[in-house]
Amino acid sequence: MNTRIYLFTGFLDSGKSSFINDTITTTDFCQNEKTVLIVSEQGEKEYSQEEIESFNCDIVYIHKEDEFNKEFLQELENKYHPTQVLMEVNGMYNVDNIVECEKPDDWEVVQVLTTINAKTFALYIQNMRSLLYQHVKYSDLLIFNRIDASMKKSFLRNNIKAINSTCQIIYEKEDGTVNTLEDDELPFDISQDEIHVLDHDFGIFCMDALDHPDKYNQKKVTLRGKFIGRDKQLEDGFVLGRLAMVCCEEDTSLIGMVCEHPAAKQLIPNEWVEVTGTIDVQYDSDINGNFCLLKVDDLKVIPPLKNEYVTFD
């Protein structure tokens, strides 16, 4: 693959231009690369051509959606020979057409990044859902910006996950710092004695249980994942886990929970199972702290999940 295409989607005033400008000028993203930036809408923030070009990046403007075609991309190939292309996608364009457009040999869309102004998100959901769907359904990373204290991040998250369950979400406050979900905004009700963890919530559940094990003590939990292997210390112990996608399929880590059930001896590595049991918080001298052990009452083998990967949002 010679030329990687990164699409930046989102509506006007969502922060796309600032995100792209920062990516080019404040990181090493363009180091040792020949980059072309395609701009298809005029946002509040204008690019400094001189500054952008100092990072070995050329700016090309298009004014109509049908200008983005194989002939146009081939002209870019012949003129600039880029190793990567960044495109600021007009908020009214059909992203399907951009993704599915025929491209020169060895050109491929490798990542879609979406920015959304949290203050106007409810309006988009109510009146422009089909357009919003276009922006979100391909997104690998979505940034909600301009979060303030009055906003429920669970509302933002649940609407996005209903469109794209594998999209990683970042919540950014008005001052630019990254925010997180509070307890009352977790995608499950921590106050209940029984918690049924949805598949796309596996990552956030395991991380929260790792960080705050005591609040899950004696909670009855149901979740689904892979049998990773036997635990080295518990006779009937095993690890239930999934690959957590940090950025892309090449950037993953294993996240999971230690479980205990006699059937651990019969399970096959990478076999998908659903477990229901009660969490017992125990002390581990190796980590000098408490951890959650799920004592399983019910275990059954299930078909593989459609979306294997989970994210940390």
The whole-angstrom separation of Cα 269 and Cα 188 is 29
136-160: pLDDT as tens digits:
999 999 999 999 888 888 788 878 8
Contacts for 149 with CB less than 8 Å, ≥ 6 apart: none
Same domain for 24 and 104?
Answer: yes
Confidence bin at 247 (pLDDT 50/70/90)? very low
Choose among 263, 283, 262: nearest CA to 217. Answer: 283
Same domain for 31 and 166?
Answer: yes
CATH number at residue 45: 3.40.50.300
The whole-angstrom separation of Cα 121 and Cα 119 is 6
Least confident among 42-46, 55-59, 101-105, 266-270: 42-46
Same domain for 195 and 176?
Answer: no
Same domain for 177 and 294?
Answer: no
Same domain for 153 and 16?
Answer: yes
Q: Which residue has the tokens 């112990």?
A: 237
CATH number at residue 235: 2.40.50.200
Please answer whether residues 147 and 118 qualify as being in contact, where contact means their C-beta atoms are separated by less than 8 angstroms. yes
DSSP 46: P
The whole-angstrom separation of Cα 38 and Cα 85 is 7
Last-in-domain residue among 183, 218, 244:
183
Q: Is 119 a domain residue? A: yes
Q: What is the pLDDT of residue 64?
A: 92
Q: Is 313 a domain residue? A: no
The whole-model pTM stands at 0.67
Q: Is 310 a domain residue? A: no
Q: What is the pLDDT of residue 44?
A: 65
Question: Hey, is 266 helix, strand or coil?
Answer: helix
What do you get for the CA distance between the two ends of the chain, in Å? 30
Same domain for 17 and 162?
Answer: yes
Average pLDDT over residues 197-206: 90
- Domain hosting 28: range is 3-183
